[in-house]
Amino acid sequence: MSKSKVLVTGIIPVQGIKRLQEVCDATYSSGEPFTREYVLEHLSEYDGILLMGLKGDKELIDAGKNLKIIAVNAVGFDAVDIDYAREKGIVVANAPQGVRVPTAEMTIALMLATVRRLHLYDKIVRSGKWVDVSEQKYMGMSLQGKTLGIFGMGRIGSQVGEFAHVLGMKVIYNDPHRLDTNLEKKLNVSYVDFDTLISNSDVITLHAPSLPSTEGKFDKTVFDAMKPTAYLINAARGVLVKQDDLINALENNSIAGAGLDVFETEPNIPENLRSLDNVVMSPHAGTGTLEARINIAEEASNNIISLLLDNKAINMVNKVEKYM
């Protein structure tokens, strides 16, 4: 019996697709990733695709005439037209577990770097200068005893809350789906409405998906309602934040600072954002560790293996009827 054929796109650690290569006929580029043109030309030959770095739009889906599954090498699946895939009977699956801890780690890293003003300190020292941090204008903020407001209390948000407790922070959250009260007690978090989250938090971290209800949620109105001493941390999706409004808030000191791993206009970051000393930035690197990328690829691979070998969909995000 011939093996199912799978196309692997993007730059993925080969360690993460070892089992996929053993049980399927997997096509993988160990050098430059396959171009979109190559994928569109050859995708009809494959039963599944492990997708990274390309849009899973209608054109790509139509090219995959024999596709049964699109496994996204990430937790976010907004790059895939999941409704059109469902119409075509193609399962779209994501990898939510592998991103949880590394993205939470990045959130905490950005939070610490931002509130302790590491970008400014690093810039000063590299320039050959020195400052006396006894002067209040050079001081940062301690996190112990402060309130962390989490917007989006899923896997990553919950992990961030757990890490924040170690730092001695009080944790409140807002989410369209409130947690069970027993789980709230276990996590030691309190649910509040959105306005309370904004006005009471010393640091706000974002962990929501990109949806019509969340895109542009953090705008001038929100920044004006935040404490002027508060910080915004975004390692979720750039479109959650109105970038121009955030730049204005940072320039005018309406808020104290921001830590950003994602951007509304990435990879093109405006110069007036890059020039600010009260923002710390990273290039969408929340899962940028070898361990994380291996785990994510293994999770995406298992989605493909389960569907193609056992006809069982796991981590399915588009509700294809025959697999429900």
Annotated catalytic residue within 237, 264, 293, 298: 237
Q: Is 266 a catalytic residue?
A: yes
CA 259 centroid distance within chain: 14
Q: Which two tokens stand for residue 209?
A: 């998906």
Q: Is 284 a catalytic residue?
A: yes
Residue spans of alpha helices (H) in 50-204: 58-63, 82-87, 100-115, 118-126, 155-166, 181-187, 194-200
Annotated catalytic residue within 86, 162, 165, 266: 266
For residue 277, give every residue at least 6 positions away whose Cβ sits within 8 Å of its Cβ, in sequence order, or none. 117, 119, 120, 123
CB 93 within 8 A of CB 247: no
Annotated catalytic residue within 116, 155, 165, 284: 284
The CA-atom distances, in angstroms, between 84 and each of 70, 81, 210, 308, 315 are 12, 6, 18, 20, 18
253: Cα within 13 Å, side-chain hemisphere: 3
Q: Which two tokens stand for residue 205?
A: 């971290």
Q: Is 86 a catalytic residue?
A: no
Catalytic residues: 237, 266, 284
